[in-house]
Structure formats: C-alpha cells, structure tokens
Amino acid sequence: MEYIFHCEVKEKALANIAIIGAGVIGVSCAAFLQRDGHNVTIYDPLPPGEGCSFGNAGSIGPGSVVPLSTPGIVRQAASWITDPDSPLWIDWRYLPRAVPWLARFITAGASPRINGIAKALRLLHADSFENYRTLLGVDAKSLLHISGQLYLYESDAAFTKDALGRELREALGIRSEILSADEVRQLEPSLGPRFAKAMYLPDSGHCSNPHRLVTTIAEDITRNGGRFVRASVKDFELEAGQVRAVVTDAGSMPCDTVVIAAGAWSHRLAGRLGLKIPLESLRGYHVMLPMPEKAPKRPLYPLAAKIMMTPMEHGLRIAGTAEIAGLDAPMNERRAAALGKIAKRYFPGMTGEPISVWMGHRPATPDSLPVIGASPRHKNVMLAFGHGQTGLIGGSTTGLLVSDLVAGRKPTIDPHPYRANRF
C-alpha cells in the first residue's frame, strides 16, 4: 500500500514542532518526534499528566477493540437520560448540544461498520506495551504489567449477551480463555461469589501509575532539550496556508509544525483552522480505595457495571461510567460515590473511605476511533486526539505514527481509518 503524506516540515530534522497538550498523547508524540531530531515544545496550562491522563483506569492491551456504539444501542437510549446511574448518562440540560454527536454515535454502531472499527482499534493497540517500553526505558518494569485482564459475567445470560465482543476478538486473533465460576475464584480469590463466568485476556494488563508514566516520559523529553510551556493555546498565525505560530495567553510562539493533542478541547483548536470534527467530552470518574486485604492481581471488568477495577501503586482504582454534560459542568458527586459502592459489592469485607475522587474529560469521537494524521486544510498541522476511553492504550502507538508521518516514512500501521475527513 502506498501512503501519501501531506504534512510539510521545515526540514527533515531540527524542525521546531509545537505540541499542544501535555497528556499521554502529547508527550508520546513529542518523545518520538524528539528521537527523530526535532526540537519540541509542549504547550499546556497544566503540568504534564494532570488532565485526563491523570485518572484513567490504567488498562493496556490488545483486547480493547469493541467500540462504544454497537448494534442495538438505540434500545438503551431511554435510560441514558432517565437513569442517573446508567453507565452512559446524558445531562438533559446538555442534550440539545449533544444531539448531532449522538446521531453519529448511533449510526456508527450499525453492523457493517463494526468490524472495520474493531480492526482499526486492534492495529492501534497491538503494540502498546512494546512502544511504551521504548519511551520508558528502565522505568517500564515498575510501571507496565502484562498481568492479564478478567471480563466478569454475573450470569450465563450476561455471558451470552456479550457474544459480539468475543466474536470480534476471536476474528482479530486476540487470545482469550473462558473461565468457570470456580476458575475465577482460583485466579482472583479477592472476588466474592457473584460471577458465573469470565473471559481471561492473557496478553492484556495495566499501568500501575498512569500519571507517573506521563511524567517519566516528560522528564526524559526535558533532559533531551525539549521545553514545556505552561500556557493555553488560543489561536494560530497563518501564512501561505501554513501555521507559522501558536498564539497563547503568554504571547505568540513561532513554529514550523503543530501537533494538536489537546484532548477534549482539541476540536475547538481544530475549529480555528476551519476543521469541523465531532468531538464530545465523555466525562469519566474514578475513586481510589485502600487496597483490600486480598488484593486483585490484575484489572477486573464487571460487564454489568461497566467499570474497571485496577490495582495501582497507591490503592485500588475504580474507574468508569460515561457522562455527557459538556466541558463546563461540575463533577457529579452521585456518580462518583456510586463507584465506591459498586466496588464494595464485589469485594466482600472491603472497608475504608475513598482516598481520592476524580473526574476527567475523555475526548470521544462518534465511532470510537481517534483522529490521527495530517490536517486536510493546512500542510504543517498534525492531529492526534479523540481516543475516548482508550487514550492510555493507544497513546504510545499514536506518538510513533505521528512521528512516522512527519518524517515521511512508511508508517507502522495504516493511518487511513483515523483520517480527519472521514466524518
């Protein structure tokens, strides 16, 4: 396959590249670009890893291939508004603004598209561990754990209902094993007797401190001459169809190439460049609980609750829910508190109050695929955002793909499914 690259840089090396966003996507892009010899400057009003990357579930692995929107999603739509404890909830006050995105979201779940979306997610996630090891060096051992993951079912009916997910994984060659209730308890003695079956994904695992992963990569960028500027990018200065500077609240900063990796705010910046990309904040929550006496060894995903329970350096992280309420609404305390209650239901004898509670904005496209690649309107702008709930999983490969495209190399994966003009 021939790959055509449309993003121009000043030179093949030593271009001044502005990366907007200091989350896992931004620092991964910056690190791989720096390895190619470019001068990188990262702009963000927050320190590295303090946004959405701070609080994610920590899941990493090739098994995350099922998009959020699947056939039959329309039947669940009523509960999104009426049930505030629904795994996906929409604030009715925000609904009019969310309707265009939701319409695309439902369309994306049509059967003919599912296989292609799952394949594209598989490509992006397959080498996550390997690419993070490249970026983290010796720190990878303490941060990355191929511990496997357990998808947990409370009944045979729930197992049957999840057939599509298992079929997609099998078709894509993702290894899995179905466990009985007794086998689940043998593998994870910490769990109560609620689960009838489980799917074990041996090649998946987790990061035990996502924030430290981002700061470790950021520190390496700084040691190698990269810069971090605590400022918000508001606009761009254009000349002859190219961006020549980013305009921040601290002034105008010249650059040769721009990478937009600003998470849930990326569509606003892309809009300044004439791009209309459907991006919505899929607000997610976590609570950190004291580690139970019998600690789980790996991420656990009870499908009924749609939460991930992950052992971390500082406790047990319970992460999940999806809430559409925009970028400006305050945290929903009820949804945060519900996570802790759910966890205590699954771990008998768990006591203790939450160590911390968090809410973050996950940047979601309607089809669950990120936007990665050159802007169709400006020759020196790269886009890298929209990973939704899989930003940590796809972050390292996104960084490598962006660096391949900027260098004009044949990319390690086909960038076509992630193109900006697919909408």
pLDDT at 334: 87
Q: At 210, which helix (H) or strand (E)?
A: helix 210-223
- Which pair of tokens denotes residue 232? 């918000």
22-27 mean pLDDT: 99
User: CATH: 3.40.710.10, 3.50.50.60, 3.40.718.10, 2.60.40.730. Which one for 16-53+212-277+368-422?
Assistant: 3.50.50.60
SS3 of the chain: the string is CCCCCCCCCCCCCCCEEEEECCCHHHHHHHHHHHHCCCEEEEECCCCCCCCHHHCCCCEECCCCCCCCCCCCHHHHHHHHHHCCCCCEEECCCCHHHHHHHHHHHHHHCCHHHHHHHHHHHHHHHCCHHHHHHHHHHHHHHHHEECCCEEEEECCHHHHHHCHHHHHHHHHCCCCCEEEEHHHHHHHCCCCCCCCCEEEEECCCEEECCHHHHHHHHHHHHHHCCCEEECCCEEEEEEECCEEEEEEECCEEEECCEEEECCHHHHHHHHHHCCCCCCCEEEEEEEEEECCCCCCCCCCEEECCCCEEEEEECCEEEEEEEEEECCCCCCCCHHHHHHHHHHHHHHCCCCCCCCCEEEEEEEEECCCCCCEEEECCCCCCEEEEECEHHHHHHHHHHHHHHHHHHHHCCCCCCCCHHHCHHHC
* pLDDT at position 353 over 90: no
Amino acid at 419: R
Distance CA 128, CA 134 (A): 10
For range 324-345, the mean pLDDT? 90
Percent pLDDT > 90 in the chain is 82
Residue 5's pLDDT is what? 44
Q: Angle at Cα 249 formed by Cα 243 and Cα 252, nearest 5°?
A: 35
Q: What is the pLDDT of residues 43-88, one digit of tens each?
A: 999 999 999 999 999 999 999 999 999 988 877 777 777 787 788 8
122-132 pLDDT, tens digit each: 999 999 999 99
- As beta bridge partners, residue 236 has 246
Q: Phi, psi at residue 86, to the nearest 5°?
A: -65, 145
Residue recorded with tokens 């509670």: 357
Q: What is the pLDDT of residue 13?
A: 52
Buried b (16+ CB within 10 A) or exposed e, 186-224: ebbebbeebbbbbbbbbebbbbbbbbbbbbbbbebbeee
| Tens digit of each residue's pLDDT (9 = 90 or more) over 405-419 | 999 999 999 999 999
Mean pLDDT for the stretch of residues 97-105:
95
Whether domain 61-112+141-206+279-364 has CATH 2.40.50.180: the reply is no
Average pLDDT, the chain: 93
- pLDDT, tens digit (0-9, with 9 covering 90-100), for 79-91: 777 787 788 889 9
**Which parts of 25-163 are beta strand (E)?**
39-43, 59-60, 88-90, 144-145, 149-153
What are the extents of the domains in the chain? 16-53+212-277+368-422, 61-112+141-206+279-364
